[in-house]
């Protein structure tokens, strides 16, 4: 296996790092403090080609491979997880689902607008009573003479307040279970689509998170992704891509923790010398480096398999599980290295810890990832009664 990046990948990585250092980091603290969803910064990200990076150029994307996409997300994640969330949702959940399951007409209508940032999208799967159990959706889709009508609610939907198009998963026939699920492309500009901002979050203060009420929301007859019964497969394939981007973003958090801890420990003097000279400080930094490198290599393996078109659900779950848990540990340890200074947002490690906590919950909890891995190794599905 070749661990060297290509010249193009190295250029993409350095460009993303420069963009993050120049545009993202300087805004991240103030955006978090003010709970500000920075649309101006989102537009700058779009101009870089980071929204829809893996979408082919014929549909308005950058046509990049998954390794390159992971490098971009890592660098943005190092700067600001809230902004990384925009890229993950727009690219991995919305664009990838349309690319894989959409008709040619749907691809040409939606993807250029999403890749350019003209439109934002959201992924409406989770409900107040349906999280890990994605097949138990209560949102209902009723067929009409002019298409479909949706009724129900969604919860914890990133970008739900700003999205122009929403991928809404709904049940067409409760008796069919997951075989009755369908995914609809919903125009949010109608009275029945009612988002409400979720406030008082622990982290991701600069990210838009919504609860959505669907009251007689109308969908055209040609606005379904795939067919009735494909909804569950649409969701799982999108989550495979989404988990990859979350893992890559968490590698960025790990890397940021290493860099900030090294910088601070070299500057902070105690007992007449930099604390970087203390053995226990070096041990903490060494463990952060270990977890960072291991997480990055797991992300690269998943990306390699995706680029080859080979099965990668298990490997993606491994990368997501390891990187999110590692990033949580690194953020906590980085605050320990900083001491009291790490407990306030003068240093980014405080924000790293608050923002990273949710990564072990969304797009499949750490426990769900373990069940996916266990199912692959034992051949026994722990999600259903035996």
pLDDT single digits (tens) 194-243: 999 999 999 999 999 999 999 999 999 999 999 999 999 999 999 999 99
pLDDT, one tens digit per residue, over 305-322 is: 999 999 999 999 999 999
- Where in the chain are all domains bearing CATH 1.10.540.10? 7-120
Instruction: Check residue 131 and give its pLDDT.
Output: 80
pTM: 0.96
Residues of the chain with pLDDT > 70, as a percent, come to 99
Q: Report the alpha-carbon distance of residue 382 to residue 386 in Å, rounded.
A: 8
| Range 351-365 average pLDDT | 97
Q: Name the CATH code of domain 7-120 (choices 1.10.760.10, 3.10.129.10, 1.10.150.120, 1.10.540.10).
A: 1.10.540.10
Query: In the predicted model, is pLDDT for residue 135 greater than 80?
Result: no
* From 75, 127, 350, 363, active-site residue: 363
CATH of domain 122-229: 2.40.110.10
The residue-averaged pLDDT of 113-142 equals 93
Outline where the chain has alpha helix (H): 7-19, 25-34, 39-47, 66-79, 81-87, 96-101, 104-116, 231-267, 279-308, 313-338, 348-356, 366-378
pLDDT of residue 386: 53
pLDDT-based confidence at residue 271 (cuts at 50, 70, 90) = very high
219 three-state secondary structure: strand
Over residues 54-69, the pLDDT tens digits come to 999 999 999 999 999 9
Is 363 part of the annotated catalytic residue set?
yes
Q: How confident is the model at residue 385 (pLDDT cuts 50, 70, 90)?
A: low
Contact 383, 371 (CB under 8 A): yes
Pinpoint the residues of the chain covered by CATH 1.20.140.10: 233-378
| Nearest residue to 122 via CA among 78, 99, 155 | 155
- What's the whole-number mean pLDDT along residues 328-333? 98
Average pLDDT over residues 119-129: 96
362 backbone φψ class: left, alpha, beta (φ>0; ψ -120 to 50): beta
CATH architecture of 233-378: Up-down Bundle (1.20)
Question: Is a pLDDT exceeding 90 seen at residue 1?
Answer: no
CATH 2.40.110.10 location in the chain = 122-229
> What percent of the chain has pLDDT above 90?
95
């Amino acid at each position: 296996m070749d661990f060297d990046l290509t010249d193009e990948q190295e250029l993409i990585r350095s460009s993303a790092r420069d963009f993050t250092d120049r545009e993202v980091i300087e805004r991240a603290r103030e955006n978090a403090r003010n709970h500000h969803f920075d649309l101006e910064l989102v537009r700058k990200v779009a101009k870089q080609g980071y929204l829809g990076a893996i979408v082919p150029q014929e549909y308005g994307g950058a046509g990049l491979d998954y390794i390159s996409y992971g490098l971009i997300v890592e660098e943005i994640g190092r700067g600001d997880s809230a902004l990384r969330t925009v890229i993950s949702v727009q690219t991995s959940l919305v664009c990838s689902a349309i690319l894989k399951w959409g008709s040619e007409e749907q691809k040409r209508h939606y993807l250029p607008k999403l890749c350019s940032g003209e439109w934002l999208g959201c992924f409406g799967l989770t409900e107040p009573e349906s999280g890990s159990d994605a097949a138990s959706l209560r949102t209902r889709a009723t067929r009409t003479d002019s298409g479909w009508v949706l009724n129900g609610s969604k919860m914890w939907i990133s970008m739900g307040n700003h999205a122009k198009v929403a991928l809404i998963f709904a049940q067409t026939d409760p008796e069919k279970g997951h075989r009755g699920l369908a995914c609809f492309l919903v125009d949010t500009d109608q009275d029945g689509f009612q988002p409400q901002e979720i406030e008082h979050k622990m982290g991701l203060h600069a990210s838009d998170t919504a609860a959505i009420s669907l009251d007689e929301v109308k969908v055209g007859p040609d606005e379904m992704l795939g067919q009735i019964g494909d909804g569950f497969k649409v969701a799982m394939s999108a989550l495979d891509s989404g988990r990859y981007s979350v893992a890559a973003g968490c590698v960025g958090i790990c890397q940021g923790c290493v860099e900030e801890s090294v910088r601070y420990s070299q500057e902070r003097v105690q007992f007449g010398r930099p604390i970087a000279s203390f053995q226990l400080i070096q041990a903490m930094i060494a463990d952060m480096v270990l977890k960072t490198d291991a997480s990055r290599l797991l992300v690269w393996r998943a990306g390699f398999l995706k680029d080859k078109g080979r099965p990668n659900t298990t490997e993606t779950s491994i990368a997501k599980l390891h990187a999110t848990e590692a990033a949580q540990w690194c953020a906590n340890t980085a605050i320990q290295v900083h001491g009291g200074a790490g407990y306030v947002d003068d240093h980014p490690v405080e924000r790293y810890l608050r923002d990273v906590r949710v990564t072990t919950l969304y797009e499949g909890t750490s426990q769900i990832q373990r069940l996916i891995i266990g199912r692959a190794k034992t051949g026994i599905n722990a999600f259903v009664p035996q």
